[in-house]
Amino acid sequence: MMGNLVMKPVDAKPATSKPLTPGAISTKQSNAKQSDAKPADAKPASRPKRAAPTSTKATPPRIRTIALPVEHGSWGLTLEPILLGLLVAPTWAGAGLALGAFGAFLLRGPLKVAYTSLRQRRRERMQIALRFAALYALIAALGLGVAVSRAGLQPLWPLALALPFGVVFFIQDAQNQSRSWQAELAGPIAFAAIASCIALIDGWAVAPALALWAVLVARALTSVLYIRTRLRMDRGRSYQALPVIAAHGFALLDVVAMVWAGLLPLAVVGIFVLILLRTLWGLSSYRRATSIQALGVTEIGWGLATVLSVAAGI
């Protein structure tokens, strides 16, 4: 029995320690390579998951570009007539008209985005644009309703004179030509009529009310021509400085004539002289390099100075 007990473990050893053949060795090596390759193949699979947070961060800018205009110049040339009208002729009806005009200004952007999104079949973007368009249309309708209910339609007749300029602007905008000189001049000229309407609502005479429109047109003319020419200069494109300077001189003479007639305060002449000097410097070889954003903010400052100079003297 002892002999049998000793032989059992001896017989078991060869069973567990069989020599490996070359085929078995190659099979184990290939299996080891496959097991080692699995983690390397699995790494790239986790990379797309990291891109998910970036799409959520991009949502606020996307909504902001749909809801609000991004051009500094459009804000300035739109708010100047509203601010000037309310400063020199504050009434509840005028405030309603200002609110309606501001809503109409905001309405253009979402409507344009909704149209382009419909053509591009971007449904989500179109729905967001339509929501903002509905909100701005409601604001415009409420503001205009307040103005008409309190003052009637008679003080709004300058809008009929501004209508052709508005038509030119919308035609250019519909053709994706909102940066053309026709659109950039026609839009501010049309919107500047709001200041005259607010003054007429307050009971102003026709000549002083139209003088508000005229000074804002002169201010928009100088701003648009200067910025367009300055950008062409900075980008190395061909330009003509003389017509721009001549337009500034014409605007200055226009303001001087209205001051001489007693329609505008004398301080406005000083502002337009400074604007002319700004243009002479900005279109010369002595100008300094300036970003587009800085130019836009500077123009807002000149517009605010013009509005305050008019309001302070009336």
Residue 18 domain flag:
no
Question: Would you state the pLDDT for residue 314?
Answer: 81
Q: What is the mean pLDDT of residues 88-108?
A: 95
How many whole angstroms separate alpha carbon 309 and alpha carbon 116?
41
Is position 10 within any domain? no
> Tens digit of pLDDT for each residue in 143-165?
999 999 999 999 999 999 999 99
Residue 48 lies in a domain: no
Note whether residue 174 is domain-resident: yes
Mean pLDDT for the chain overall: 83
> Number of structural domains, the chain?
1
Question: Which carries the bigger pLDDT value, residue 213 or residue 34?
Answer: 213
- pLDDT, one tens digit per residue, over 196-220 is 999 999 999 999 999 999 999 999 9
In a domain, 61, yes or no: no
58 inside domain:
no
- The verdict on residue 28 lying in a domain is no
pTM: 0.77
Give the confidence band of 50 by pLDDT, cuts at 50, 70, 90.
low
Structure confidence at residue 111 (pLDDT): 87
Q: Find the mean pLDDT for residues 273-283.
A: 96
Mention every residue, 6+ apart, whose C-beta is less than 8 A from residue 82.
Answer: 98, 101, 102, 194, 195, 198
Residue 148 lies in domain? 72-313
pLDDT, greater one: 184 or 61: 184
Mean pLDDT across the stretch 245-264? 97
Q: Which residue has the higher pLDDT, 48 or 9?
A: 48
pLDDT, tens digit (0-9, with 9 covering 90-100), for 292-310: 888 888 999 999 999 999 9
- As a whole number, mean pLDDT of residues 233-249 equals 92
Tell me, yes or no, whether 133 lies in a domain.
yes
Banded pLDDT at 47 (limits 50, 70, 90)? low
Q: Give the model's confidence band at 117: pLDDT under 50 very low, under 70 low, under 90 confident, else very high.
A: confident
